[in-house]
Amino acid sequence: MTATKGLEGIVAAQSSISSIIDGVLTYRGYDIDDLAEHASFEEVVYLLWHGKLPTKAELDQLIADLNAHANVPAAVIYQMKTYPKDANSMAALRTAVSSLALYDEEANDMSPEANLRKAIKLQSQIPTIVAAFQRIRSGLEPIAPKGFKSLAANFLYQMTGKEPDKVAIEALDKALVLHADHELNASTFAARVTVATLTDIYSGITSAIGTLKGPLHGGANEAVMAMLEEIGTYENIEPYINAKLEKKEKVMGFGHRVYKNGDPRAKHLQKMSHELGKITGNMNWYNMSIKIEEMVTGQKGLKPNVDFYSASVYTSLEIPRDLFTPIFAISRCSGWTAHILEQYADNRLIRPRAEYVGPTNQKYVPIEQR
């Protein structure tokens, strides 16, 4: 038995939800470029859950269901008000999502119908939780969802209390489409491992949120913005990046375990970053990102991943930096729940082996002789 570090190249499951073949990402066989151009996030959610694009009636029903379930139990909002004001946003989301299970009487109902209903609740309540967290820590009351036809619009409204503008809704919607699913990424794998014990869907999503939080995964988008802010000016880029690369430190938002010739999602986010920079009149973050890309790709051959340009996109949308990863979770909830439903439908416990490299033939020594 020989272990492969980081399970690189190991095929750990069969799935019909999304694929990465020769650098091309598809959801249910639809190229991400096609979906990013044409599909709404709600259509993608339906596609991931049901394996086909919705008809108009099916889409309307899904939007109605998402709106109907978007209110978070009052007890969860009450608990959130007791969280420290400086709580880590992903820790807060993980805790709140875990506690949703306490107030859902069908939390442990394992029927496919109940699990689909819980997927709808999670998909609609995670944005409500993220928006409520932002308002509570700002000393404001959380706002109930308004029933817009788009989750992106509801979220922006619930976060700011203002009618969101069309540009912001469309940009966020596209970002949600691009982040929705990604084969056996670390958080999705964590979700599948969790529910393969036949525990409940809330446990699976709680595991996934904890896994997404890390800077090698979803947490990289916040780390990219922190880096841009630390660099501060265009002139500082060269010395900063050169020093990082010399010290063999990682530049956040670059590299990928699967894509070695570039992440197909990055070009869409780059384009959005450019367009939003023009609209807001602040091209600074975009220009700095382009320069960093030139340097890192030029010197290391590493290409930007999904997290790199999403940082400047979200900043242009005036979203606080530490909500970038929670927004990733809002989107990826669709993929996580699709994978959980797929796992339940044909389950087998996920239990790999370890290559033992520790000492052997040890003999117990009584404590007073050690």
> Measured from the CB atom, is 254 or 344 closer to ligand ACO?
254
Q: CB neighbours of 156 closer than 8 A, spacing ≥ 6?
A: 164, 168, 169, 172, 317
Among 265, 256, 251, residue whose Cα is nearest residue 328: 265
Tell me which of 50, 135, 149, 250 binds ligand ACO, using CB under 6 A: 250
Distances (CA, A) of 252 to 209, 244, 368: 19, 11, 50
Position of minimal CB gap to ligand ACO: 255
Torsion over CA: 118, 349, 180, 207 (sign): positive
Does position 253 interact with ligand ACO (CB under 6 A)? The reply is: yes
**Which of positions 183-212 make contact with ligand ACO (CB under 6 A)?**
185
> Measured from the CB atom, is 38 or 300 closer to ligand ACO?
300
> Measured from the CB atom, is 128 or 188 closer to ligand ACO?
188
Tell me which of 251, 295, 319, 333 binds ligand ACO, using CB under 6 A: 251
- What distance in Å separates the CA atoms of residue 121 and residue 68, rounded to the nearest whole number? 9
Choices 69-77, 107-115, 141-149, 298-306; region in contact with ligand ACO by CB under 6 A: 298-306
Please answer whether residues 330 and 124 qualify as being in contact, where contact means their C-beta atoms are separated by less than 8 angstroms. Answer: no
Does position 220 interact with ligand ACO (CB under 6 A)? The reply is: yes
Q: From the CB of 257, what's the least distance to ligand ACO, in Å?
A: 4
> Measured from the CB atom, is 153 or 311 closer to ligand ACO?
311
**Which of positions 6-35 make contact with ligand ACO (CB under 6 A)?**
6
Tell me which of 254, 309, 336, 344 binds ligand ACO, using CB under 6 A: 254
Region of 31 on the Ramachandran plot (φ > 0 left; ψ -120 to 50 alpha; else beta): beta
Does position 300 interact with ligand ACO (CB under 6 A)? The reply is: yes
Expressed in angstroms, the distance from the first to the final Cα of the chain is 33
Does position 302 interact with ligand ACO (CB under 6 A)? The reply is: yes
The two structure tokens encoding residue 212 = 């997404």
Please answer whether residues 299 and 237 qualify as being in contact, where contact means their C-beta atoms are separated by less than 8 angstroms. Answer: no
Among 131, 100, 95, 135, residue whose Cα is nearest residue 118: 100
Binding footprint of ligand ACO on the chain (CB under 6 A): 6, 185, 216-218, 220, 248, 250-257, 300, 302, 305-307
